[in-house]
Amino acid sequence: MHIPATFCSIIPPYILRRLARLDEPRFSAAARAAKEALSHVRSVQSARTQPAPAAPPALRDVRPGPPNRSIYDAGGSEILPGKLVRKESEPASGDQSADEAYDGLGHTHRLFADIFGRNSIDGQGLPLDATVHFGKLYDNAFWDGRQMVFGDGDGEVFERFTRSLSVIGHELMHGVTQYSAGLAYRNQAGAINESMSDVFGALVEQYLNSQSVTDASWLIGEGLFTPQVEGSALRSLKAPGTAYDDDVLGKDPQPDSMDSYVRTSADNGGVHINSGIPNRAFYLTAETLGGNAWEAPGRIWYDALTGGSLPATATFRVFARSTAASAVDLFGTDSPEHDAVRQAWETVKVKL
């Protein structure tokens, strides 16, 4: 099976467009960086014609092995992968971004191996490659269908993108989605794609830090903003629409239920905006069940994604039904887990 490789980036285009329009001297670097990031996104998406290999879904018969990481340095260029600076089992390179990327890839691999029995991103031991120092003050991090890529940020609005483990986990999860369900990166299917990355990006961070549902921040991209920005992160699963409220960036536009669903042709049909709805459904499921979110809630969402029955163009309703079915398969019809899933989707106004 082959599916198109999709360029999936952490910074939504609506943030980049807003920054690109800035004419304040104190944000001159941010404005230039945003324009360059937007131009790069457009050029990659228009050139994306080659398919990436995808593994069959529901790979559960391959025992997880150790990670196989390679970190490259683009040196400010946009040529991938760049110069190899650290390989698996080698000591720290001394480059903060390279070492953060190396550690983040390992933490993500460990969650999927330990909790879901998955052998790397494709389920078959895919080597984990990442490039740091991509571009000049590049305001993004992305999965290009084959590897991770991190910019250094502009220093005015964004810090370096390896700084946030949830960002690393988010982008690698796009690879898991690519190699399992192959969800389309448009409209509600694209919002589910983005939501799955937010959910598992949060779980990578929670698993590393042994954080319970109540201990966790439920923020994606915490620490990415410089002190000049009024905001805690890019997105909040616990309270979509509250991650930032800033004179420069504006207010976080994510809805928390279908009552405020955003109908738009921008951002591939609102994939970064409307992902707030399934994000909150996952959080509410985890909140109801308590304990560790990577256990029952994570297993339900992972099973729904990788079980083999989710169509590439799934809507929120189709995905909600898939999570409810997974809860039944894993825990039973009359289980608290099944009840929690149904209640969560009802709260965000997605009908099963």
DSSP 192-227: HHHHHHHHHHHHHHHHHHT--TTT---EESTT-B-T
Catalytic residue IDs? 171, 272
Residue type present at position 206: Q
> Which residues neighbour 71 within 8 Å (Cβ) at sequence distance 6 or greater?
84, 85, 86, 87, 93, 98, 101, 102, 129, 130, 131, 132
Q: How far apart, in whole angstroms, are the C-alpha atoms of residue 139 and residue 36?
A: 8
Q: At what angle do helices 316-331 and 276-289 cross, to 10 degrees?
A: 20
Residue type present at position 191: A
Give the per-residue pLDDT at 245: 97
Tokens 């970064």: give the residue: 272
Q: How far apart, in whole angstroms, are the C-alpha atoms of residue 77 and residue 64?
A: 34
Give the per-residue pLDDT at 232: 96
Q: How far apart, in whole angstroms, are the C-alpha atoms of residue 239 and residue 298?
A: 19
Whether the Cβ atoms of residue 352 and residue 325 lie closer than 8 Å to each other: no
Give the per-residue pLDDT at 316: 98
- The CATH-assigned architecture of domain 2-179 is Roll (3.10)
Residue 266: CA count within 13 A, CB half-sphere: 9
Give the per-residue pLDDT at 5: 52
Give the per-residue pLDDT at 45: 56
Give the per-residue pLDDT at 59: 46
CATH value of 187-347 in 3.20.140.10, 1.10.390.10, 3.10.450.50, 2.40.160.20: 1.10.390.10
User: What are the residue ranges of CATH 3.10.170.10 in the chain?
Assistant: 2-179
Give the per-residue pLDDT at 154: 96
Q: How far apart, in whole angstroms, are the C-alpha atoms of residue 8 and residue 141?
A: 9
Q: Along the chain (352 residues), what's the average pLDDT of each consecutive run of 10 residues? A: 62 93 89 91 56 44 86 97 98 98 98 97 96 96 94 96 97 95 95 98 98 98 96 97 95 97 94 98 98 98 96 97 98 98 98 93
Whether the Cβ atoms of residue 4 and residue 48 lie closer than 8 Å to each other: yes
User: What are the residue ranges of CATH 1.10.390.10 in the chain?
Assistant: 187-347
